[in-house]
Structures are given as structure tokens and as C-alpha cells.
Chain A
Amino acid sequence: MNLAIKDIRYSLGRFLLTAAGVGFLITASIGMVGLYRGIVADALLLIEQIGADLWVVQGGHSGPFSESSAISTDMDRRVAGVVGVAAVRRFTQTSQQVSFNDRSVRATITAIDFPSDTGDWINLTAGRHLRNGHYEVIANDNLSLALGTSITVGRDQYHVVGLTSGMVDMGGDGLMFMSVNDVITIMKRRTNEEILLARKSDLASGLATGNSDSNGGSVDGALDNQKIAAVLVTLSPAADEQAVREALLAWGDVNVMSGQDQKDLLLNQRLLRLRIQILAFTGVLLVVMAIVISLIIYMLTIEKLHQIAMLKLIGARNSVVINMIVQQAFLIGAGGFAFGIGLARLIFPHFPRRVVMDLHDLGLLAMTVAIICAFASLMGISRALNVRAQEVLS
């Protein structure tokens, strides 16, 4: 006769509510870990999908994700001449407000070096990749753009030709892919106010240095200055990565990073505080869960002290009492875990940021819940074993 199951069936409503309460805590834990995984996945998404062997960035910088990077737009030609380099692509990103249908959304515009790169490494959910060098975009679905929609970025109109899903930057803004020339045009655009300010500054600088050229040539030069963030390098199969890296670094005006370097920078520098913060919150949540489950099991045991005394009186071994407590603790844990996962699957897809439910994380969480249940059982058991049979008479 399984006393734990009998008791649960007798108080099914209370058991379900208890399991649901534990389940909410488990859902919150899954959410915390999943949010962290989601932020990491979003941050690494582009680095992993874009598939570059090396990133050539501004000298002395570790851009373009962990800090800024600006290099000349013709840097790709210099890099292409290095022995061992099979292909190069220009890369840059900028955040912009995009207007359409009287709405405005924030997007991270990412350059595709068309025509050498049509963006075929991007997984589309609808539409096609780029076919023209101008005025075409591939947009992520969280920007709520439909295929064929016309959007205004800067002074120009662009047409949505392809849609992706789950492609966001580490801030959660949807990615929008355009040809690199379009992105450079967008980045070059200045407002009238910016131009006036730049001219004033240039004039003041000229007076200070005795330069009487007031035609604004240097201002225009600055305004025409074109830059990209990085050059993506694909190495020849037989190339020696270290040799290519040394050749590029020898120029002195660039830094060279591998994809792994970019990931390490993101995870261990840019996202480090966030990771620690989320892990600390998860730890706090697990402690709260441990306390709550322990209290629940302890209270369930306290409620049954008279029955436990009766069991002892009629000669039940301690194992009968221990089994009942342990089984109930684990059934509450298992019920809560199932409820927690079910709820997480139901609600997290509707959250604004991606919440990744990693199987390995869920396994670890299940183990943690099991350990918490075992600990909670020990509290109940230690109380139950102190019950004396004669307490039935009290």
C-alpha cells in the first residue's frame, strides 16, 4: 500500500496547488537561465552564422561587438592581397529607427557585401536573399515587417524581400540586412544641424591653427569619409592562420581577431556582469525554492504527526514513515518540475526576449530540484523520527 499516493489522492487539490507553487518557482528558474542562454545565443548568433575565419578590425581595438571599430572601406582590397586569404567581405552595423506605415521601430542594420555575398548564410523564413545591390532588405520577424513592405531609412525607400526569425542583436533589436553600400550611405547621412556644427568646429580649428581655408573642404572631407567596422576573412584551406594573422598585424593599423576571440570578448567582457547577475539571481531563486519546498514538506509532516505516531503504535517500521515522506517530497518536486516546464513552454515564446530552454540546463535543474527534495525530506524525516508512539494518546 503506497501511503504517499493514497494521501495525495485524498488531498489532490492541495497537492496540485503545492506542486503548482513549486512549479512557478521552477518556471522562474528556467526563465532566468533561459534568458541568460538567450542573450548569449543572440550575441553569438551573427558571429557563428556569418562564418568568418578572421575579423580584421581597427588597430588597437577589439571591435566591432565589444567596442567600436572603424576602418577604411577599401581595406578589403588590401586584405585580399595577403597570401592565404581566399575571400573577403566588408562588414558594418548601425542602429537606426526605421519608419513604415506611420510606425517607427528600432533595428540593427547589418551590412552584406553584395554581390560577393548575397546573405545566403541567413536562414530565411519567407522571401529571398538579396538580388540587387540597392534598396533591398532582409528583416527579422520581430520588426513586424511583411514581405514587400516599403520602409524609409534615411532618405531612401527600401523593400523587404526576405524575412528571418530569431535574428536579433544582444540588446534584442531585430537585425535588418542590407547591401554594404546602402549601409554606408545610411551611416554617412548627416542632419543639417550636424553639418553646421561640423563646419563651425572646423572654422574654429582653422583660426586657431592659422589655416585660412574657409571653404569647408576638410568638413566635406570628413563628411565624405567612408568607413566600415571590419573585414571578414575566409582563409584558403591550406592557409596558415597564424601566418596570415602576423602578416596583417605587421601593417600596424589593424587588429586581427578570430571568431573565437569575438565570442570570448562578448562572453567574458561585455556580457560578464550580466552573466554573473543572472546567475546570482538564479542562485537566490534556488535558495528560495529550497526553503519553500523544505517548509512545505516539513509542514506536511507536522500535519501528519498524529498519524505517524499511530503508525508507530501499530508497529510500523521507520522505513514506512520515511518512504511516505520521501515519496511525497519527490512527487511534489516532480509535479512542480513538470508544471514548471509546461508553463515555461507555454509562456516564454511570448516573451520579448528569447528564452532558451537548453536540455542540459533542464537536466541540471531537475537534479537541483531532486537534491532540494532530498534535503527537504531529511527535515521532515528528522521530525517524524522524533515522534513517539504514545503521542497518539495526547
Chain B
Amino acid sequence: MTATPVLSIRNASRHYQSGDSIVKALDDVSMDIMPGEVVGILGPSGSGKSTLLLIAGLLEPPTLGEVYIGGKRVSYPDAMLEGLRSFRRHNIGFVFQKANLIPFLTALENVALALEIDDVSPRDARDYARWLLGSLDLAHRRDNLPKQLSGGEQQRVAVARALANDPRLILADEPTAALDGERGKQVIRLFRQIATEADAGVAVVTHDPRVLSLFDRSYELRDGRIVKGHHPRQEST
């Protein structure tokens, strides 16, 4: 019996009106991410990577097509995504190129906030945040403000925040762009560890060639369409 994909996008298109013409930011894209998989989404600037991430993250509905998360149809043309905030909170974790930490909260508070807004008691939220930071080797930095952390540490705090609600899907947008080669690989390895341990699916938008070999699979986008699919890990073995 095949497992249900964590994320399934079916024939998704996203069109924008630009003056008299229509721009096809995404054109009939279909993809699946299975539990435990780390999938790369590649492509040059303007190829539709970020649009795909917005649609997969339930931040914008597709103009055509459907999005399933954990087998549940959650997004489709004209879907009211504002009402899916709670679903997003429980099912999707986001990591970006910039850590986007709240500057006036410590590392611990940034992670605990994601739990407290889900009505977890402050004490439990802090305990779990402390454990998460510890597991990412940041226990000694938990009381530091973001400005006191290095770029790599900030990114790991952002990962901890994305993991706080045990999401089934993690969407990462250029998470290694601001990091050096080794730090970038560390982050992708961290995603792999999370995917394996939590049985989560991870989609990483990147154009960083140094980390390609770390993905289970990758999709290459060009002009809003998937032009290639790779299995770098299988190829490398």
C-alpha cells in the first residue's frame, strides 16, 4: 500500500493580470512530496519557484488546479485561505532565506511563540522550545536576542520555530542562500534528519548547486513549468 503524499499539487496554475496581458507564473504544475522526503525545487529567478511555494504553503490559491495536504484537499481556485490559518499552523512550517525572527524576542521566545499562539500553556511552550533549541545545538543561545546571534544560528532558530508545532510539511525558501557552504549543507542535513525522524516532507526552494546532492528528488522549473525531475541521491549511489 502506497503512503499518502504529505503534499500533492495537481495541475496547479497561477496567472496574474499585467496590463492587458496575462502572466503565467505557474503553468500546469503537478508534484508530490512523500513523508520522509527532502525535495529540491530548482530554477532560475522568475521561473515560478516562489509562486509554487506560496501555493503549497496555502498563502495563495491556484488559478487552476488543486492542493492536497495529507490527502486533504485544502486549496483550489477561489479558496478562502484566510480561514486556513489554523490548518497552516498545525501542518506547515516555513523557513526563509532571512530568518525573520521577531527582533524583540529571545531565541527561546521566538520558538515558544509559535506554540503559545496555538494555545499551548506558556510553561509547556517554553519547555518544548528549550528542548527544540537543545536538539539544534542552540541551548546556550536561548536567551539571546536575534541580533546577538550569527546568521547560521538565526537560521537554526527559524528551523526550530518551523518545527515547533510538529508540522507534516516544511517549506523552505532559499534557506542556505545567506550561509556559507558548510553551514548550508548543515541546514539541509538538519531537514533530512527532521524528515526522517518526524516522517515529514520537506520542500526546499534553492538555486544553490552545492546542496543538490543532498535532496532525495528535485524538480526544475522554467517559465512556470516543470522541465526536469532528478533523483540525485539515487544517481550518486
Asked if A306 contacts B109 (CB within 8 A), the reply is no
* Distance from A301 Cβ to chain B, minimum over Cβ atoms (Å): 15
A10-B103 in contact given A312-B85, A315-B88 (Cβ < 8 Å): yes
Asked if A311 contacts B173 (CB within 8 A), the reply is no
Asked if A313 contacts B59 (CB within 8 A), the reply is yes
Q: Which residues of B contact A390 (CB under 8 A)?
A: 54, 59-60
- What 0/1 pattern do residues 151 to 172 of B give for CB contact below 8 A with A? 0000000000100010000000
Beta-carbon contacts under 8 Å, A84-141 to B: none
Beta-carbon contacts under 8 Å, B163-211 to A: 165, 173
Beta-carbon contacts under 8 Å, B95-117 to A: 96, 100, 102-105, 109, 112-114, 116-117
* Distance from B69 Cβ to chain A, minimum over Cβ atoms (Å): 14
A144 within 8 A of B: no
B76 within 8 A of A: no
Q: Which residues of A contact B114 (CB under 8 A)?
A: 314-315
Q: Which residues of B contact A196 (CB under 8 A)?
A: none
A295 within 8 A of B: no
Of the 9-residue stretches A1-9, A253-261, A336-344, A375-383, which lies at the interface with chain B? Answer: A1-9
* Distance from B96 Cβ to chain A, minimum over Cβ atoms (Å): 7
Asked if A307 contacts B102 (CB within 8 A), the reply is yes
Question: Which among B54, B96, B117 is the interface contact of A315 at CB below 8 angstroms?
Answer: B117
Question: Which among A1, A306, A315, A393 is the interface contact of B85 at CB below 8 angstroms?
Answer: A315
A267 within 8 A of B: no
The interface size of chain B toward A, counting residues with CB under 8 Å, comes to 29
* Distance from B105 Cβ to chain A, minimum over Cβ atoms (Å): 6
List 10 interface pairs A-B (beta carbons < 8 Å), by A numbering. A1-B113, A1-B122, A3-B104, A3-B105, A9-B104, A307-B103, A313-B94, A315-B85, A389-B59, A393-B96
A6-B109 in contact given A1-B122, A314-B89, A315-B88 (Cβ < 8 Å): yes
Q: How far is the CA of A316 from the CA of B173 in the complex (A)?
A: 20
A310 within 8 A of B: yes
Beta-carbon contacts under 8 Å, A305-355 to B: 306-307, 310-317, 320
B50 within 8 A of A: yes
Q: Which of A6, A314, A389, A392 is the most central at the interface, judged by chain B CB atoms within 10 Å of its CB?
A: A314
Q: How far is the CA of A83 from the CA of B104 in the complex (A)?
A: 81
Q: Which residues of B contact A392 (CB under 8 A)?
A: 94, 96, 100
B118 within 8 A of A: yes
A393-B54 in contact given A1-B109, A1-B116 (Cβ < 8 Å): yes
What DSSP secondary structure best describes chain A's contact surface? helix
B234 within 8 A of A: no
Q: How far is the CA of A390 from the CA of B145 in the complex (A)?
A: 24
- Report the nearest B residue to A391, measured CB to CB: B59
Q: How far is the CA of A36 from the CA of B47 in the complex (A)?
A: 69
Asked if A6 contacts B104 (CB within 8 A), the reply is yes
Asked if A306 contacts B100 (CB within 8 A), the reply is yes
Q: How far is the CA of A134 from the CA of B159 in the complex (A)?
A: 93
A314-B94 in contact given A1-B122, A6-B109, A390-B54 (Cβ < 8 Å): yes
* Distance from B209 Cβ to chain A, minimum over Cβ atoms (Å): 22
Q: Which residues of B contact A310 (CB under 8 A)?
A: 100, 102
B18 within 8 A of A: no
Q: How far is the CA of A388 from the CA of B59 in the complex (A)?
A: 8
Beta-carbon contacts under 8 Å, A203-227 to B: none
* Distance from A142 Cβ to chain B, minimum over Cβ atoms (Å): 51
* Distance from B141 Cβ to chain A, minimum over Cβ atoms (Å): 17
Q: Which residues of B contact A389 (CB under 8 A)?
A: 59
- Report the nearest A residue to B161, measured CB to CB: A314
A11 within 8 A of B: yes
Q: Which residues of A contact B90 (CB under 8 A)?
A: 315
- The 6 lowest CB-CB distance pairs between A and B, nearest first, are A315-B89, A10-B104, A390-B59, A316-B117, A7-B104, A310-B100
B236 within 8 A of A: no
Q: Which residues of A contact B117 (CB under 8 A)?
A: 311, 314-317, 320
Q: How far is the CA of A393 from the CA of B56 in the complex (A)?
A: 14
Q: How far is the CA of A11 from the CA of B103 in the complex (A)?
A: 10
Question: Which among A10, A312, A393 is the interface contact of B173 at CB below 8 angstroms?
Answer: A393
- What 0/1 pattern do residues 4 to 30 of A give for CB contact below 8 A with B? 001101110000000000000000000
Asked if A393 contacts B104 (CB within 8 A), the reply is no
Q: Which residues of A contact B109 (CB under 8 A)?
A: 1, 6
